[in-house]
Structure 1
Amino acid sequence: MSVNKKALSERDICTKYITPAIQQAGWDIQSQVREEVSFTDGRIIVRGRMHSRGERRRADYILYLQKNQPLAVIEAKDNSHSLGAGMQQALGYADALDVPFVFSSNGDGFLFHDRTGLSGQVETELGLGDFPSPERLWDWYCRHKGLAGDAQETVETPYYDDGSGRTPRYYQINAVNRAVEAVARGQDRILLVMATGTGKTYTAFQIIWRLWKARQKKRILFLADRNILVDQTKNNDFKPFGQAMTKIAKRQINKSYEIYLSLYQAVSGNEEERNVYKEFSRDFFDLIVIDECHRGSARADSAWREILEYFEGATQIGLTATPKETEEVSNIDYFGEPIYTYSLKQGIEDGFLAPYKVVRIDFDLDLQGWRPRKGQRDRHGNLIEDRIYNQKDIDRNIVFDERTQLVAMKVTEFLQQSGEFQKTIVFCDNIDHAERMRQALANLNPERMRESSKYVMRITGDDVEGKAELDNFINPEEPYPVIATTSKLMTTGVDAQTCKLVVLDQRIQSMTEFKQIIGRGTRINEDYGKHWFTIMDFKKATELFADPNFDGDPVQVYSPSPEDPAMPPDNEPGEPVGGIEDDTGNWDPAVAHGAAATFPDDPSEAPKKFFVKGEPVKVLAERVQFLGPDGKLITESLTDYTRSCVKKQYASLKDFLRRWSDTERKQVIIDELAEQGVFWDDLQQSVKKKLGAELDAFDLITHIVYDQPPLSRRERADNVRKRNYFTRYDGTARQVLEALLDKYADTGIEHIEDIKILQLPPFNQLGTGPELIRAFGGKPGFQEALQGLERALYGQEAG
C-alpha cells in the first residue's frame, strides 16, 4: 500500500524520509545528529512588572562532525511544500550558527546550498540517496577554512565536557571555533567581542582547553584586571585545569605549571614588580589570553601593552565587551579586526540578556545652570566663585545638598513601588559623591537600615568595609547589601546577576564606560526572578543610546606608523587601570600594590569644591523609555506610543468597541495588545498619577487612544449596582456575582474571568467551586451570567 506523502505531517516526513536518508549517508544519529534544536531562549518581553518569552529559534536538524562542531543545518517542511520552501529560513539559521552547508527538504529529496563553493555550484537538488557523508562535508569545511595536517587535528580536538550536560551556547561555540581555527592556521593576534554577561570567561576556558589538549599551546597566561576576576576564573570556569594551573604571585615564580593566571597589576606596577614577568623568558608562553582588553592594554604606551610586547612571540587573544576605538586608543590596531562579534542587541534579541527600560529625570539646576548670588558662601563659609555652574560641574566642582537628597528620594520612591530588596547600583561621580549618596539613602530608609546597617553600602576602592561586602552584593543568596553606591570600582568585573536597578548620577562621556555600566544589569537569573532591569538616569547619560555606535561593530580610528609619537599617558576618563580612586574621582594605580593613596600635598593644588545648602531643586522633566518589540528604545511618551500601537490594530473607536463586545474573554484583547507593545502596568501608573483612580483596561484604551471620558473601576461597579442588575438572581448565585463585582472594582476585568477565582476568598466561604457553578445551573449558566455582568459594566459603550 503506497503512502500518501501529502497527508503526512512535517514530523512524519522527518521520521520516515529525512532521518533515514541522513543515516544512510553515514551520519551517526546518536552523536552527530540533533533534531529540533532550540538555540536561543526567546526574547524577554516586558509587560509592566510582568514578562513573557518570545519564540525560540529552532532548527529542525543540526549536523555535527562531533559535539559542538556544527557543519550543516536542515530545515524540514511537509510534502505540501516545495523542496526548497525552507531554504531561506535555513539560511537564517546557518548565519547564526556559522555553518557553511544548508539543506531544505520536503521528503522528496534535498535542496543543498553550499557556501564554500567546493561542490561546484551554490544550490543543487539531491535525491534522498545522495545526501553527502560527514567525511565529505568535513573535507570541504577544512579546505574552505584553510585547515590541513596539524591544524586540522587541532580543530578536531573536542571541547571540555564535565558530564553534567552543560553545553556552550551557539554564539560561544562560534567564538571558540573561530578562535581555535585562527590559532591552528597560525594567526597570532585575535580579537573576540562579546557583550557583558555572555560568558567571555567560559568561552576563553574552552578555547584554552582545546588548544592545550591538542598540544598546540603548552604554556598559557590568562590576564585579567581585577583580583576578584582572577579568583573567580581559577575557582570556577578554569577549575578543570586542576594541578596544571597556578596564580602568579609576586616574587614567587614557579615555572613548572602550564596554565598561569595573573592580574595585569601584579606584573605591571612599579619597576620591581614589572620585573616579575621578566623572570620568564620571552618565549616561555606560547598563548596569552587578555580579558577586558579594551582597558589599558589598548594604549600603545601602557604598562600592560609592555607585557604583551615582551611576549610578542606568543599568540595573543583579546576578549572585550566594548572595543575601544578613539583617536588616541585602538585595540583593533593591535589585535586586528574582530574575528567574531556578539552584541548586546543580539543577546537581548536571543533572550540571553535582560532587556531594560529607562527612567530619565532632569533637574532645573542641571539643564538651566546655576549662578551664585553676589557674595554667596557655601555651607563651609567659602566664597563661591562667581560663574555659571552646569551639569559637568555638579558633584565635581559644586555640590547641592538638596539635589543629592532629591536623587536619593527618587531612587527610594522607585524601590518602594517596585521592591525594596532588589539589588541596586548607584553610580556617582567620585568617592565623596558616593559617600554623600549613601548617607542620603540611609536616612530615607530608616526601617530598612534598622533591619540591617548594610542595606546601603558604599563600595569604592578606598573603603575596606565596603569592598569586603562586594562578594555579598553580587551573591544572589545574600540579602545584603541591597543598595551599593560607587563610582568606578563596580564599573567592570562585577557579575551582579540579580541587579534590577542601575542608577546613573554620573556624567558619562565614554561609550566604553557606558556600555560597561549598562552591562551590570544585563545578566538574567531565572531562579531569582531577574528577567529585566531599569536604568534610572539623572545626568543625561542615556543619550548615548542614540549614538549609532552604541551597539554597532567597532570602527578603527587610529592607525599609527612606527615613527609616530607615544600616545598621551592619561587614560580616557573613567578608564582605570587598577588601584583606587582618590576623592576627586581620579584613579591611583599605586594603591593596587599596597602603597598609600596619593593626594596633593598642597591643598591649594586640589580642585576647589563648593558645598551649597538651601538651594531649591525642581524636576523639570520625568519620562520612562522602553525597549520596544523591535529592540529599539522608545523615546516618545508612553501615551503617544500606546496610541500608535492600538491604532495599528483598531483604527477607530468603533472598531475597538466592536471587538471588545464580541470577545467573550477580554483577557484575550489585553494579551494581544501587550504583545504589540502596550505596557499595561506602567500605563496604569501614569494615568493614576493624573486622575488619582485605577482605570479598567477598557477605560485606559478608550481614554488615552480615543479621548473618551474615563470611569474608574469603582464608578463602573457602582453603576451596575444602581441598575439593579442582581435582581434577576437570588441566593448563592447573587452572592457570587456581587463578590465578582467587588473583585472587579479592586483588581480589574482580567481576574474575574478566571474561573479559579472561585477557589479564593470570599468565594470559598460560599461553597466549593463546583457548588458555586451549580448555583447557576452549570458552567454554561455561570459563563452566561459572567458575560451579562460584563455587558452591564460597559453598558451601551461596548454594546
Structure 2
Amino acid sequence: MDKKALSERDICTKFITPALVQAGWDIQTQIREEVTFTAGRIIVRGRLHTRGKKRRADYLLSFQKNQPIAVIEAKDNKHSLGDGMQQALAYSDALDVPFVFSSNGDGFLFHDRSGLGGQTETTLTLAEFPSPNALWERYCQYKGIQPDARPVVEQPYYDDGSGRSPRYYQRIAINRTVEAVARGQDRILLVMATGTGKTFTAFQIIWRLWKSRQKKRILFLADRNILVDQTKNNDFKPFGQAMTKVTNRTVDASYEIYLSLYQAVTGSEEEQNIYKQFSPDFFDLIVIDECHRGSAAEDSAWRKILDYFSAATHIGLTATPKETKEVSNIDYFGAPLYTYSLKQGIEDGFLAPYKVVRVDIDKDLQGWRPSKGQRDKLGQEIEDRIYNQKDFDKQLVLEKRTTLVAAKITELLESSDPYQKTIVFCEDIDHAERMRQALVNANPKRVAENRKYVMRITGDEQEGKAELDNFINPEERYPVIATTSKLMTTGVDAQTCKLIVLDQRIQSMTEFKQIIGRGTRINDDYHKHWFTILDFKKATELFADPDFDGEPVQVYQPYADDAPIVPADEQDSGLDESADNGEEAEDEAAAGVETDWADYDVDDNATWESDDAGGLDTTEGPEPRRKYVVDDVEVSIVAERVQYLGPDGKLITESLRDYTRKQVKAQFASLDDFLRRWQDAERKQAILDELAEEGIFWDALVAELGQKWGEEPDPFDVICHIAFDRPPLTRRERAEQVRKRDIFNRYEGQARQVLESLVDKYADAGIAPIEDPKVLTLSPFSQLGAPMELINAFGGKPGYQRALHELEDALYQTPA
C-alpha cells in the first residue's frame, strides 16, 4: 500500500481510528470524528446573506459524553507528523481541551497544555497513544479535581433522546461551573451574550449537580414573571414533580427545585419577606438570572435574599455584567468563570449580525432655540436656551421630528418587508405613545388591515402588555411594530425581530447591550438571519467603545464612611449606568407587581425619568420639569449612511463592489496570480465557492452588472472587472469567441456535438453546470445518447475530462 497516495480520510480510517481503539477508546461513546462546532458566520451585504466556513475538528475525544478532553488534527501522509499541530491548538483554545494531537498516520505529535507531563510536545508511535483513564487522571490533576469530587464531574448531562446537546460554548460554561462547584467554589459568574442559551446552560448545571446529589435544594431567581414561567415550562421541564414556583403565600418545603420571582418573596414590610419562611441553610445552590440587575448593588432587595442564604453556592448569569463605581457583579461573584461574547457568537454563526443605518436630523446636530417669549402648543412659555439631541422628547417635543422618524421607519419597512417585527425604543412612555400615533398615521393601509399593526407595549398599559406574547411569537403576524421605552430592553425573546429603531439617547452600556440583544437571535424557519439597527440618536457610537464587547473590568469603589458622594455628572465615566433603576421599576409593572417608587433602591446620585404617561419628567430636585411641545418647527434629514459588521467586529461602511474587491485581492495578489489559479483549478466553480464563503454574493453582483451591461457576465469577468479593472465579456461573447476559433475540428460525431452543446449550456447557465458530470443526463445531451455512450465517444472518462479542460481553457483565454 502506498501510504502517500491515501487521502486524509483514508489515513483516519486505516491508521488513526484503529490506534485509538487499540488504546481503549470506545468508538461509540468516546470518539467523535469530523465534529463541526460552529455554524459559520453569517455575512450580510445589502439584503443578502451567506454563511462562512464552519469550524470542524477531525477528532474530539471525551472521557464522558460531552466532556471532551483531547482534540486530534489529521493530515494525509504527504504532510509531516506535526503539520496539523497549530490548527489543532487553535481548536483546543476554542474547545477548552488541554490535550492536543496531530497525526499523518505514522504516529502522533502530542502537545500537553496541562503543564504536568514535563516536556510540552512529545512524539508518540501509533501504539503509544494514551488510554482514556490515563488522560482523565491527568485532566483531573490539572483541574484540581479530587477523587471524592469525581462522581460530580462525571455526572452526565440530561439527554431526552432528541439529539439536542449543549453547543461547545455552553458545554464549556457547564463543565467549568460543575468542576468549580465540585472543588468547593461558592461564588461563580457566567457571562453569556443574549440569545446564547443561558437558561439551558443553567438547567444542565443544576441537573448535573442535583443528580449527583452535590446540591439537593436549589433556588432559581429571576426578576420577570415571564422569565420564570418560560423557564419552568421549557428548559426546566425535566425536573417534573420535584420543581415548584414560589408565590407570595406560605411556602411548601417539600420540593427540591424552586423557581421564584424575587419580587414575590420580598417587600418593604417584614411579613412580605416570604423567603424568611425558609431556614437560612435550606438552599445549597442559588442561580441568579440577569444578575446585572438588582443583585449587583449591595443594598438591593436581591442582595438581602442572597445574604440570607449566604451559605449556599451562588451562580450569577448575565449577558451584561454591571461594573460601575457604585455597583459590581465581579466584587460579589468574582471574575467571570467563562465569557461568551456577542462578538464571538456572531463570529461562530450562532447569533445574528447586524447592519446599522445612521440617520442624522438637522435640529439634532444644529440645535434649536425658541424666539423671545415663544409659547408651545400647550401655551407654556418656552425657556430661552439652545435645545439639542439630549433634550428632544425629554424636555422638548418637536412634533415634526416625530413624524419624520415615523416616515423613515415606514420607508425602510416598505422597501424591504413591511411585516418584519420592529421594536422602536423611545425616551419614555409619553414619547412611545406619540411615536405609536405617528406610525399609525404613516401606515394607514397596514393599520386598516389590522389595528394592531402598531402597538405601544409599555409597563403602564394593559392593552399593549397583553400583546407582548403575540409580538414575540413567530407564528403571529401582529403586532408588527412595538413602540416602547424600557419594558422590552431585556428578557424579551423576540426571535424574529429584524428591525431595532433607536430614538432613545442611551448612556448606559448595560442597557445598550440589552437592547441590541433583542435582535441577535437566529430563526431559520422564519428567515431571520440578521437584523438592522436604525439609529436616530447616535446610540450606535457605543459600538466604538472598547467596553462594548470586551471583558468586564471591575471599577467598583465601596465608599468609606466619610467618603464624599460624587454627583453623577462629575464622575469619570461618561455612561450613566444608573439608568437601569427606571428600567427595573417599569419591569416591575410588567411583572404585575404593584410599584411603589419608595421600594426601589435608587442611587442617590441617579437622574432618572419616571415613565409617566402624562408627559412629566421627574428629575432630581423639588420641581418637576415640564415638557414643551412645539408643532411648527420644520426638520429634515441631513445625512444617512449604512454600516456593516466587519470580520473584526467593527462597523464598516462599504458597498458590495468595494467588499468584493477587497476579498478578491486578499486571496489573489495580482491579476496574473488569479489567472494562474483559475487555469490550474480542476473545477472553476471551486474558486467561486471559496470566495462565496468569504461573503461574495455572485448572484447579486452578476445581476447588478448584467443590468448595467445589458447581459449577465461570467463571475470570472466580475472578478477581473471589479478587482483588476479589466473590461468584461458576457458569457455569450465568450461562447461566440470559442465557436469562431473552431477549436473542436479534431472531434467528430457525438464528441463534437457534446462539445458544441456544452458551449451552448455555458452561454445559457455559466460554468457550474458544464463542470457537473450530471449534465450529460440532461437535455439536449440526453437526445444525443446515453451518458456512458457520450463519454466513450471521447475514448473514455479521461478523454472527456481532457476535452472539457480544453473547452474551459478556450472559454477563458485572455488576450496577450
TM-score of the pair, normalised by structure 1 = 0.83
Query: Structure 1 residue aligned with 2:577, among 569, 572, 584?
Result: 572
Aligned residue number for residue 35 of structure 1: 33
**Contact 2:81-2:108 at 8 Å conserved across structures:** yes
Q: Report the CA distance shift for 1:174/1:654 in structure 2 as closer, same or farther (over 3 A).
A: closer
Summarize the Cα distance change of 1:475–1:591 in structure 2 as closer, same or farther, 3 Å threshold: closer
Offset of residue 50 of structure 1? 2.3
Indicate whether 1:620 and 2:625 are aligned. no
Report what 1:193 is aligned to.
191
- The SS at the match of 1:60 is strand
Greater mean alpha carbon deviation, residues 382-391 or residues 563-572 = 563-572
Aligned pairs, how many? 741
CA, structure 1 residues 495+307, in 2 after alignment: closer, same or farther (shift >3 Å)? same
Q: Report deviation, 1:467.
A: 0.9
2:252 matched residue in structure 1? 254
Amino acid at match of 2:465: K
Query: Alpha-carbon deviation of 1:629?
Result: 3.6
1:234 and 2:225 matched: no
CA distance 1:661–1:165, change in 2 (3 Å): closer
Confirm or deny: 8 A CA contact 2:510 2:577 kept in the other structure: no
Distance (Å, rounded) in 2 between the aligned partners of 1:703 and 1:375: 63
Q: Please say if residues 220 and 286 of structure 1, whose CA atoms lie closer than 8 Å, have aligned partners that are also in contact.
A: yes
Cα distance 1:55–1:681, how it changes in 2: closer, same or farther (>3 A)?
closer
Q: Name the counterpart of 1:167.
A: 165
Shift of 1:264: 2.0
The RMSD of aligned alpha carbons is: 4.3
Once the two structures are TM-superposed, the CA of residue 326 in structure 1 deviates from its matched residue by: 1.4
Distance 1:51 1:643, change over 3 A: closer
The residue number in structure 2 matching 1:631 is: 649
Note if 1:339 corresponds to 2:337: yes
Q: Which residue of 2 aligns with 1:422?
A: 420
CA distance in 2, matches of 1:296, 1:694: 62
Whether contact under 8 Å (1:590, 1:596) holds in the other structure is no
Task: Name structure 1 gaps, 5 residues minimum.
Answer: 582-586, 718-724, 726-748, 757-768, 781-790, 792-796
In the alignment, which residue of structure 1 is the partner of 2:438? Answer: 440
- For the residues of structure 2 that align with 1:263 and 1:577, how far apart are their CA atoms? 18
In 2, the alpha carbon distance for the partners of 1:431 and 1:347 equals 33
Question: Secondary structure at the residue paired with 1:65?
Answer: strand
1:299 equivalenced with 2:297 (yes/no): yes
Counterpart of 2:213? 215
Corresponding residue for 1:87?
85
Aligned to 1:786: none
Q: 1:670 to 1:61 in 2, by over 3 A?
A: closer
**1:330 equivalent in structure 2:** 328
Q: Say whether the 8 Å CA contact 2:588–2:594 is kept in structure 1.
A: no
Indicate conservation of the 8 Å contact 2:36/2:57, yes or no: yes
CA distance in 1 between counterparts of 2:47 and 2:204 reads: 37
1:551 corresponds to 2:549: yes
TM-score scaled by structure 2?
0.81
Q: Among residues 127, 134, 153, which one is paired with 1:129 in the alignment?
A: 127
Number of the residue aligned with 1:397: 395
2:371 corresponds in structure 1 to 373
Give the Cα–Cα distance (whole angstroms) in 1 for the partners of residues 101 and 596 of structure 2. 64
1:396-439 CA deviation, whole Å, 9 max, x = no partner? 11111111111111111111111111111111111111111111
Q: Alignment partner of 2:580: what SS? A: coil
Distance in 1, Cα, partners of 2:201 & 2:465: 28
Moved more, 315-324 or 251-260: 251-260
Cα pair 1:225 1:577 within 8 Å, conserved: no
In 1, Cα distance between equivalents of 2:377 and 2:104: 80
**What residue is the counterpart of 1:115 in the other structure?**
113
Which residue identity lines up with residue 426 of structure 2 in the other structure? C
Deviations along 1:590-619, one digit per CA (max 9) or x if unpaired, are 985235788799989432101111211111
Taking the TM superposition and a 5 Å limit, the aligned residue runs for 1:738-753 are none
* Contact persistence 1:301–1:567 (CA under 8 A): no
- Which of 502, 505, 530 is the equivalent residue of 2:503? 505
Partners of 1:45 and 1:327 lie apart in 2 by 38
* One-letter identity of the residue aligned with 2:211: K
Distance 2:307 2:698 in 1: 56
Whole-angstrom CA distance in 2 between matches of 1:567 and 1:338: 29
Q: Distance in 1 between matches of 2:685 and 2:31?
A: 42
Task: Report what 1:607 is aligned to.
Answer: 625
Counterpart secondary structure, 2:273:
helix
User: Aligned in 2, Cα 1:17/1:286: closer, same or farther, shift over 3 Å?
Assistant: same
Alignment partners' CA distance in 1, 2:263 and 2:815: 70
CA contact (8 A) 1:333 1:559 kept: no
Secondary structure at the aligned position of 1:325 is classed as coil
**Residues 201-237 of structure 1, C-alpha deviation per residue, up to 9 Å, x if partnerless?**
0000000011111111111110111111000000000
Please state how far the C-alpha of 1:550 moved relative to its aligned partner: 1.1
Partner Cα separation in structure 2 for residue 661 and residue 107 of structure 1:
33
Distance 1:674 1:153, change over 3 A: closer
- The alpha-carbon deviation at position 130 of structure 1 amounts to 1.1
SS at match of 1:449: helix
- Matches for 1:134-173 after TM superposition, within 5 Å: 134-173=132-171
- Pairs within 5 Å for 1:683-762: none
Report the Cα distance in structure 2 between the residues aligned to 1:567 and 1:221, rounded to whole angstroms: 36
In structure 2, runs of 5+ residues without a counterpart are 569-575, 598-609, 617-621, 733-739, 741-762, 771-777, 792-809
In structure 2, the residue matched to 1:729 is none
Following superposition, the deviation at residue 660 of structure 1 comes to 12
Judged with a 3 Å threshold, the aligned counterparts in structure 2 of structure 1 residues 30 and 589 are, in CA distance, closer, same or farther, namely same
Looking at structure 2, the residues matched to 74 and 568 of structure 1 have their Cα atoms a distance apart, in angstroms, of 56
Q: Distance in 1 between matches of 2:341 and 2:233?
A: 27
| Aligned 1:7-26 pairs, distance under 5 A | 7-26=5-24
Question: C-alpha displacement at 1:632, in angstroms?
Answer: 2.6
Rounded Cα–Cα distance in structure 1 between residues aligned with 2:325 and 2:426: 27
Question: 1:47 maps to what in 2?
Answer: 45
**Alpha carbons 1:48, 1:680 under 8 Å: kept:** no
Query: What letter matches 1:610 in structure 2?
Result: Y
Partner AA of 2:577 in structure 1: E
Alignment of 1:490-529 (within 5 A): 490-529=488-527
Shift of 1:18: 1.0
What do residues 666-702 of structure 1 show as CA deviations (whole Å, max 9, x unaligned)?
99998777655567899999999xx9x9998999999
Secondary structure of 2:123's counterpart equals: strand
Contact 1:423 1:483 in 2 (8 A): yes
Task: Say which is worse superposed, 372-381 or 408-417, in terms of deviation.
Answer: 372-381
Helix, strand or coil at the partner of 1:524: coil
Classify the secondary structure of the residue corresponding to 2:110: strand
Q: 1:388 and 2:393 equivalent? A: no
Match in the other structure for 1:244: 242
Match of 1:730 in 2: none
- Alpha-carbon spacing, 1:356–1:426, altered in 2? closer, same or farther (3 Å): same
Q: 1:442 to 1:666 in 2, by over 3 A?
A: farther
C-alpha spacing 1:170/1:659, structure 2 compared with 1 (3 Å): closer
Deviates more, 1:140-149 or 1:190-199: 140-149
TM-aligned CA distance change 1:646 to 1:388, over 3 Å: farther
Work out the CA distance in 2 between the residues paired with 1:121 and 1:217.
Answer: 39
Residue type of the alignment partner of 1:572: E
Q: Distance in 1 between matches of 2:369 and 2:711?
A: 43
SS in 2 for 1:593: coil
Distance 2:550 2:310 in 1: 30
Provide the identity percentage: 70
